[in-house]
Structure 1
Amino acid sequence: MTTTLQASQTALVKALNRNQANALVAYLNYKKYHWLTFGPLFRDLHLLFEEQGGEVFAMIDELAERSLMIDGVPVANPADYLPTASIQGSTAEMSVREMIEEAIATHEQIISEMHEDAEVSANAGDIGTADLYTRLVQVHQKHRWFLKELLKKGNGLTV
Structure 2
Amino acid sequence: MSDKGLPIDIGISSKDRATVSLELSKMLADSYTLYLMTHNFHWNVTGPLFNTLHLMFMTQYTEAWQALDSIAERIRALGHFAPGTYAEYAKLSSISETTSVPDAETMIQLLVKGNESVAKTARTALKKADAVDDQPTVDLLTQRLDIHEKNAWMLRSLLQ
What TM-score do you get using the length of structure 2 for normalisation?
Answer: 0.87
Deviation of 1:70 (Å):
1.3
Task: Tell me if the contact between 2:122 and 2:145 (Cα under 8 Å) persists in the aligned partners.
Answer: yes
Whole-angstrom CA distance in 1 between matches of 2:85 and 2:109: 30
TM-score with structure 1 setting the length? 0.87
- Does structure 1 residue 37 correspond to structure 2 residue 45? yes
In the alignment, what sits opposite 1:139?
A: 147
- Equivalent AA in structure 1 for residue 74 of structure 2: R
Where has structure 1 moved over 6 Å in runs of 4 or more?
none
**d(CA) in 1 for partners of 2:77 and 2:101?**
40
- Counterpart position of 2:133: 125
Partner SS state of residue 20, structure 2: helix
* CA separation of 1:146 and 1:123: change in aligned 2, threshold 3 A: same
Q: What amino acid is the match of 1:61?
A: D
Q: Residue 76 and residue 5 in structure 1: after superposition, are their counterparts in 2 closer, same or farther (change >3 A)?
A: same
Give deviations 1:66-110, integer Å, cap 9, x for gaps: 011111211134442222222122223312111100100111111
**Secondary structure at the counterpart of residue 83 of structure 2:** coil
Identify the match of residue 149 of structure 1 among 133, 145, 157.
Answer: 157
- CA-to-aligned-CA distance 1:97-145 (integer Å, 9 cap, x gap): 1110010011111111211211110111111101110011111111111
Verify the 8 A CA contact 2:26 2:121 in the aligned structure 1: no
**C-alpha contact 2:119 2:149 (8 A) present in aligned 1:** yes
* One-letter amino acid of the counterpart of residue 46, structure 1: H
- The answer as to whether partners of 1:20 and 1:64 remain within 8 angstroms in 2 is yes
Count how many residue pairs are aligned between Structure 1 and Structure 2: 150
- If asked which structure has higher relative contact order (CA below 8 Å, sep 6+), I would say 2
1:13 counterpart = 2:21: yes
CA contact (8 A) 1:25 1:85 kept: yes
Output the CA distance in 1 between the equivalents of 2:89 and 2:120: 20
1:51 paired to 2:59: yes
